[in-house]
Amino acid sequence: MAAKITAAKILAIANQKGGVGKTTTSINLAASLARMQQRVLLVDLDPQGNATMGSGVNKAELERGVYEVLTHQCSAKEAIVALDENGFAVLPANGDLTAAEVELIDAPEKEQRLKQALAPESDHYDYILIDCPPSLNMLTLNALVAAHGVLIPMQCEYFALEGLSALSDTISGIAASVNPGLAIEGLVRTMFDPRNRLTVEVSDQLKQFFGELVYRTVIPRNVRLAEAPSYGLPIIVYDKNSTGALAYLALAGELVRRQGRHSPEPDTDNNGSAYNNGNSYKGS
């Protein structure tokens, strides 16, 4: 068994197209990794604060968050909120984060702020997941500079490949300029319906163009998965036996195995199947 790695793997969860499941993936992958006994920090870098609310933190009551961290009003440690029920910690955000865009325009090392803030916390986590806004702005740039890799959730639909091409160009540009180690970590097919012919066709194209970068695990359309954020809970807490919960647990397992990190059995007492290429299999 591989030795446990102490420094965190930092992943930006990004797609310049909205509505593809970035925040859903961020929250539920964080919770699923935590069930695999990984130490996880979820960073909400979207001013909408959906990852914050979906994790059970009231964005309206925040005293400190990512905005204060990026503008040097507090450290990341001072703003991080531990979520015992969900098993992970969150660096929350709310609408105040919008102001960071303006305030950082002329700031020194403006694209390095998040990387610098997370550096002291890296040894305390196995994974740091960054939920990015659906646009290429100063916040997303901070995430891509801080990250080791980019995890891209995407629907298998008509415009998916075009948007993915633009994002790939962005990642290549940042790797060539400010973050040489940055690369695509993997592609996650979300809201997957194997009965839809277009979904299957686009999925096949993704595998053809990106090969092993496409995760074998797919995330199905699931009503319970859509309901969970309104309760401030990840799906594995809201309904651990749902297909959505099993799929994200499988994705977490695949992610950990790909990186050769310590991968104990998930902390769950269900023996259901998890989604993989549209079919079910035992375990994760």
What CATH number does the domain containing 275 carry? Answer: 3.40.50.300
* Residue 203: predicted pLDDT: 92
pLDDT band for position 26 (cuts 50, 70, 90): very high
* pLDDT higher than threshold 60 for residue 278: no
Residue 3 maps to a domain: no
The number of distinct structural domains making up the chain is 1
Q: In 3D, which of 119, 151, 146, 153 has the Cα closest to residue 18?
A: 153
Residue 251 maps to a domain: yes
Residue 153 maps to a domain: yes
Residue 200 maps to a domain: yes
Least confident range of 75-84, 118-127, 153-162, 193-202:
153-162
pLDDT band for position 184 (cuts 50, 70, 90): very high
Where does 72-137 have alpha helices with state H? 76-79, 97-103, 113-118
Residue 219 maps to a domain: yes
CA distances from 277 to 105, 183, 207, 215 (A): 43, 24, 11, 9
The per-residue DSSP string of 73-85 comes to SS-HHHH-EEETT
* Residue 7: predicted pLDDT: 86
Q: Residue 218 is which amino acid?
A: V
Residue 4 maps to a domain: no
Handedness of CA 136, 159, 182, 11 (dihedral sign): positive
Burial of 19 (0-12, 13-18, 19+ CB in 10 A): exposed
* pLDDT higher than threshold 90 for residue 6: no
* pLDDT higher than threshold 70 for residue 279: no
Residue 120 maps to a domain: yes
* pLDDT higher than threshold 60 for residue 127: yes
Phi, psi of 139 (to 5 degrees): -70, -50
* Residue 5: predicted pLDDT: 56
Domain of 122?
Answer: 9-282
Residue 2 maps to a domain: no
Are the beta carbons of 277 and 220 closer than 8 angstroms? no
For 221-246, the pLDDT digits (tens) are 989 999 999 999 999 999 999 999 99
Whole-prediction pTM: 0.89
